[in-house]
Amino acid sequence: MKGSFAFFMKGKSISMKNDINWYQNAIFYEVYVRAYADSNGDGHGDLRGLIQKLDYIKDLGVDCIWMLPIYESPLRDDGYDISDYYTIANVFGSVDDLRELLKKTHDRGMRLIMDLVVNHTSDQHPWFQAARKDRKSPYRDYYVWSDDDRKYQGTRIIFIDTEKSNWTWDGQAGQFYWHRFYASQPDLNFDNPKVQQEILDVMDYWLAMGVDGFRVDAVPYLFEREGTNCENLPETHQYLKRMRQFVDHKYPDCIMLCEANQWPEDVRPYFGEGDEFHMGFHFPLMPRIYMALGKEDVTPLFQILKRTPDIPNNCQWCIFLRNHDELTLEMVTEEERQWMWDFYAAQPGTRLNLGIRRRLAPLLGNNQKKIELAYSLLFTLPGSPIIYYGDEIGMGDNIELFDRNGLRTPMQWDNSPNAGFSHADSSRLYAPVINDERFKPQQVNVEDQRQTPESLYNHIKHMLAVRKQHAGLGSSLLEWIDTGNNAIAAYWRIRGEERFLICNNLSETTLTFKIEMPTALTKGMDLLSGKDIDMPSSHELCLNLASHAFVWLKIN
């Protein structure tokens, strides 16, 4: 082991140090720092605010926090437009605050990963400013330029509601520049070895500080090649493997989590032979959880997981119900997309790009049983789950706000002014607190839900605690069970001698069904109630589940 290893692991407990594969069974929690807690009363959440809430996060059962970008930025895309990779934006705090956050996170046995935005910078980044001013600047070649806007015609536009082309004319530069997202986010030129090195240096800087890894943004788009769709190119994989070698060499317990909104077979290469990403988001699974719930039919889940290739032993999927973006419908067929829009986005203003800009609770009609059922799927299907801040209490959204901002409103801690998020005058908040009748802080807040045993928060916390006691619920074989009724999502999770039987009733009605047991099994335990159950002497177990109910059984 490298001499530097002990140094970089400083601040982490012994058990954390020994657990190199920690991410394979971890509970992740996504925090938008600006929305979480405002410590200095300026109306914006900040790192010190997040520090104050670490006990809450720990208590919920979280193992690793993923923090949205906090770097210097004009915030035209909420920090995904970085103007200085080495500075923390003033609104969020300072590097010292981050050091303290890391220490206190590690003290609590949790980890913290940051966002790494590699595909593009802000147009305010000094590299781009220098590049556009002078063709001879060494930074000119940090970006992708062209005299016309006809190159790479086979490339789709991602932000179709705001951008008409992936090329934008820059008067100062006298050329077009390439961008896969907003025009204010010029793409970096990864054909330039200096750009490749710059990104490794950025990683080194934050990992050396104690950050536990990165969620790497928009990775399919790093390189451009004529005649392709400019996604998932071999050159991209080659570079990502270099990143991984760097991490493994210097920071062996740190992870790289891949954001590639692609079909499973196209995400699979991002795991390489266990030498590229440690983890990858499973984008196609997410909308199918909503399809299964809406259609009361397990088929979409079954089909997408059947289509999902095996991944190397040292890798893991990261699965989610919602995040800070619109519920993306890129990885569905046109027919499925239309169905999702008709079913979940009938209200004008809820569609965005190829998706739906709503949070979990409004999507599921604020029906607690249905939300818990969605979490039951999330916590028992293969992968490490991630929870989007506020979705543990069923927060609402605000579609009056621009683009995706309505999904990023202040966290609702209690029903005091500004929902306990900030002491600032409400007119100074970065975004208004939700005031919809069903979701306003008087109805939905952490404090009330913590005191109410049957609240969504307490149910989720309990489910997480159970899931954490049984590693086999997360990483183990998945075997589907045909109950003869598609409204039942039933499966085995099998790990060595351990067997878990998971049954979810996707329908509005009570259902009775039978499960064939592989052998005559003698003992079972209902994990969520903690009660033993008698197994039948025959090979058949008869179960009865109320509407949207679910059971997690451990069978011996």
Catalytic residues: 217, 259
Residue 394 Cα distances to 363, 368, 455, angstroms: 10, 8, 10
Closest CB to ligand NOJ: residue number: 80
Tell me whether residue 80 or residue 206 sits nearer to ligand NOJ (CB atom). 80
Q: Which of 22, 127, 181, 421 binds ligand NOJ (CB under 6 A)?
A: 181
Q: Is 539 exposed, middle or buried (0-12, 13-18, 19+ CB in 10 A)?
A: middle
Least spacing, CB of residue 497 vs ligand NOJ, in Å: 40
In angstroms, the CA 493 to CA 476 distance is: 6
Helices (H) and strands (E) in the chain, counts: 17, 24
Q: Which of 97, 170, 217, 397 binds ligand NOJ (CB under 6 A)?
A: 217
In angstroms, the CA 328 to CA 102 distance is: 31
Residue burial 37-58, b: 16+ Cβ < 10 Å; e: rest: bbbeebbbbbbbbbbebbebbb
Per rule CB under 6 A, is residue 403 in the interface with ligand NOJ? no
Per rule CB under 6 A, is residue 218 in the interface with ligand NOJ? yes
Least spacing, CB of residue 340 vs ligand NOJ, in Å: 19
Alpha helix (H) residue ranges in 210-278: 234-250, 264-267
DSSP structural state of residue 411: P
Task: Compute the 3-state secondary structure of the chain and give helix, strand, coil in percent, each to the nearest 5.
Answer: 35, 20, 45
Determine how many CB atoms are found less than 10 A away from the CB of residue 542.
10
Q: Which of 28, 80, 92, 143 binds ligand NOJ (CB under 6 A)?
A: 80
Tell me whether residue 76 or residue 103 sits nearer to ligand NOJ (CB atom). 76
Least spacing, CB of residue 165 vs ligand NOJ, in Å: 17
Tell me whether residue 239 or residue 388 sits nearer to ligand NOJ (CB atom). 388
Tell me whether residue 181 or residue 317 sits nearer to ligand NOJ (CB atom). 181
Per rule CB under 6 A, is residue 117 in the interface with ligand NOJ? yes
Tell me whether residue 187 or residue 253 sits nearer to ligand NOJ (CB atom). 187
N- to C-terminal Cα distance for the chain?
40
Least spacing, CB of residue 273 vs ligand NOJ, in Å: 26
Q: Residue by residue, what is the 3-state secondary structure of 432-446?
A: CCCCCCCCCCCCCCH
Contacts of residue 154, Cβ cutoff 8 Å, sequence gap at least 6:
227, 228, 229, 230
Least spacing, CB of residue 48 vs ligand NOJ, in Å: 24
Tell me whether residue 73 or residue 316 sits nearer to ligand NOJ (CB atom). 73
Least spacing, CB of residue 217 vs ligand NOJ, in Å: 5
Phi-psi region of 367 (alpha: psi -120 to 50; beta: other; left: phi over 0): beta
In angstroms, the CA 379 to CA 489 distance is: 13
Per rule CB under 6 A, is residue 30 in the interface with ligand NOJ? no
Per rule CB under 6 A, is residue 339 in the interface with ligand NOJ? no
Least spacing, CB of residue 218 vs ligand NOJ, in Å: 5
Tell me whether residue 222 or residue 541 sits nearer to ligand NOJ (CB atom). 222
How big is the site for ligand NOJ, counted in residues (CB under 6 A)?
Answer: 8
SS3 40: coil
Per rule CB under 6 A, is residue 325 in the interface with ligand NOJ? yes
In angstroms, the CA 16 to CA 13 distance is: 5
In angstroms, the CA 450 to CA 446 distance is: 6
Per rule CB under 6 A, is residue 85 in the interface with ligand NOJ? no
Q: Which of 72, 77, 296, 397 binds ligand NOJ (CB under 6 A)?
A: 77
Residues that bind ligand NOJ (CB under 6 A): 77, 80, 117, 181, 217-218, 324-325
